[in-house]
Amino acid sequence: MATTQQASGVAIPRVATHRPRVSPLRRDLPGIALAMPFLVLYVLFLIVPILYGALMSLFDTSLVRPGLSSFVGLANYRELFNTPGFWSSLWHTVLFTLLSTPPLVILALALALFASRVARGRWFFRLAYFAPYVLPVSTVVLIWNWMYQPETGLVDTYLGKLGIGPVGWLSDPKVAMVSIVILTVWWTLGFNFILYLAGIQEIPRQLYEAAALDGAGPWAQMRRITIPLLGRTTTLVAVLQVIASLKVFDQIYLLTEGGPDFSTQPAVQFIYESGFTSYRVGYASAASMVLFVVILSVSLIWFGLVRRQEKGV
């Protein structure tokens, strides 16, 4: 028992309280229980398929034979690296990524800056920029397939009024990939736009007020305040866009089926056709592992950039 001396000089007894120690495992048990459903689904539907896919890549697995079939080691990888079609499809994926990422980052930033500064009808611009993103891919492909039709399509009709002849948007190997990029930018721009808009709203208004008192105009505020403070958002948007572009499949397969003359066939379509058309699941698994390593490398680079930005703050 401890005592506390008051100003009057009378000692008042104070009972010492002892809180029971709680083990770290018991303290974290509620959080673990809440996260357990997600962890179970994460392991079942992501970790296990990745490990099983890596295992199948070492076997001559086929859809027409039960089980893993015979062990072939790295033969699938050797054949894959000696297949020109795989490298061609991988290059088409990289080309699509290089063509689509810059406009999807720059245009999303520009539209977010405009929508955050417009005085009237702000809700309309936000809705208009984000609305295409909620459309299913089949609807988007139907719209743009009609617009890309030679001579009768909406695009060639307006180009004809400008004196420009019909363009083989889906039939010319040199133009087909650009057509897919235009479709993708129109369709998916809204997601990056929302990320940038959220980042702009997180910037304190006091910074703009102080800059205005110092005589900085809108362009100076944008160059000195907005764009620098959106650095992390830009890194996030760019890397998420690169990862999404490396996995491109839906719009290309529905619009051109990888044509004309395999000029737009992405890596995912090569994997799909190897596994479900040629029934060579082991060979397709090897191609999947190579693409997985490429995407994982991009993710690790992103983590490195984020850590460097955090250390610089």
Q: What is the pLDDT along the chain (313 residues), one digit of tens a residue?
A: 445 555 455 555 555 555 667 667 677 788 888 889 999 999 999 999 999 999 999 999 998 888 888 999 999 999 999 999 999 999 999 999 999 999 999 999 999 999 988 878 888 988 999 999 999 999 999 999 999 998 788 898 888 888 887 888 999 999 999 999 999 999 999 999 999 999 999 998 898 888 888 888 888 888 888 999 998 899 889 989 999 999 999 999 999 999 899 999 999 999 999 999 999 999 999 999 999 999 999 888 877 877 776 676 5
What phi-psi label fits residue 279: left (phi over 0), alpha (psi between -120 and 50 degrees) or beta?
A: left
Query: Would you call the peptide bond into 260 cis, given omega within 30 degrees of 0 as the criterion?
Result: yes
Please, which residues have CB within 8 angstroms of residue 109's CB and are 6 or more apart in sequence?
A: 196, 227, 230, 234
Q: Give the residue extent of every domain in the chain.
A: 83-279
Distance of alpha carbon 80 from alpha carbon 284, whole angstroms: 9
Give me 149's structure tokens. 């039709």
Residues 143-163 as b or e (16 or more Cβ within 10 Å = b): bbbebbbeeebebbeeeeeee
Query: Whole-model pTM?
Result: 0.86
pLDDT at 70: 92
- DSSP-derived letter for residue 71 is B
CA distance 110 to 143: 25
What pLDDT is attached to residue 215? 84
The superfamily (CATH) of domain 83-279 is MetI-like (1.10.3720.10)
